[in-house]
Structure 1
Amino acid sequence: MITGIWDVELKTPIGTLAATYEFTGTADGFTGTATSRDETVALVDVVVDGQRVTWRQSVTRPLRLDLDFDVIVTGDELTGHSRAGRLPRTAVTGTRRA
């Protein structure tokens, strides 16, 4: 359900950030990476529970942050949010590539 390549936008207080996410199914669950223009990072603790998908990741650009994601996947669309500690939630939307 989450497997594939996704074009994702994060609407942050400093502007909209675009990233490409790739999720892969394995015998042990799911793994993935997130790539922005400056870096590629591994996704940690990817959990699929029905349509809900959660994961964690760390980034160093534009700021050093540890992010928690919580999204709902409906077909080839995802919507939800990410959160970095005490910072406000960031809206997350994405579309799976064909």
Structure 2
Amino acid sequence: MSTLPGTWDLDLRTPIGTLHVRYVFTETPGGITGTATSDKEAVPVTDIAVGQSDQVTWKQRVTKPMRLNLDFDVIVDGDTMTGHSRAGRLPGTTVSGKRVAR
């Protein structure tokens, strides 16, 4: 069983400001599924992979504030998550947050 499932409130510190996003990850018989919800839109989280030392990667597409394909690489440590995301050649984004529910 992964340590990822649950509801997470994450801050994404982007060049245009900090975005507050709620992530919900659910463990199913077919693997882990997820959604990301901001004040602008809700999108599916895809290609979720949990590696050694609780390293987690996933992808998501957003359309607001602009169209981007994001790649996330984070570490889950108990009820905290830290790492980064990238959108192509744009500068990386720092990701951090806490689990708010299991």
2:11 equivalent to 1:9 = yes
Gaps of 5+ in 1: none
Quick one: distance in 2 between partners of 1:93 and 1:15?
14
Q: How many angstroms does 1:37 deviate by? A: 0.3
Q: Which residue of 1 aligns with 2:28?
A: 26
Please report the TM-score for the alignment, with normalisation by the length of structure 2.
Answer: 0.94
Separation of aligned partners in 1, 2:55 and 2:28: 18
| Alpha-carbon distance between aligned partners in 2 of 1:38 and 1:92, rounded to the nearest angstrom | 18
CA distance in 2, matches of 1:5, 1:67: 20
Deviation (angstroms), 1:86: 0.3
Q: Does 1:97 align with 2:100?
A: yes
Shift of 1:9: 0.3
User: 2-side partners of 1:39 and 1:3: how far apart?
Assistant: 21
User: Structure 2 matches for 1:50-69, cutoff 5 A?
Assistant: 50=52, 51-69=54-72
TM-superposed CA distance for 1:58, in Å, is: 0.3
Secondary structure of 1:7 counterpart: strand
Give 1:28 shift. Answer: 1.8
The share of aligned pairs that are identical, in percent, is 59
Query: RMSD across aligned C-alpha pairs, in angstroms?
Result: 0.7
Distance 1:94 1:53 in 2: 14
- In 1, the alpha carbon distance for the partners of 2:51 and 2:32 equals 12
Give the paired residue count.
Answer: 98
| Structure 2 segments unaligned to the other structure (5+ residues) | none
Separation in 1, partners of 2:25, 2:85: 17
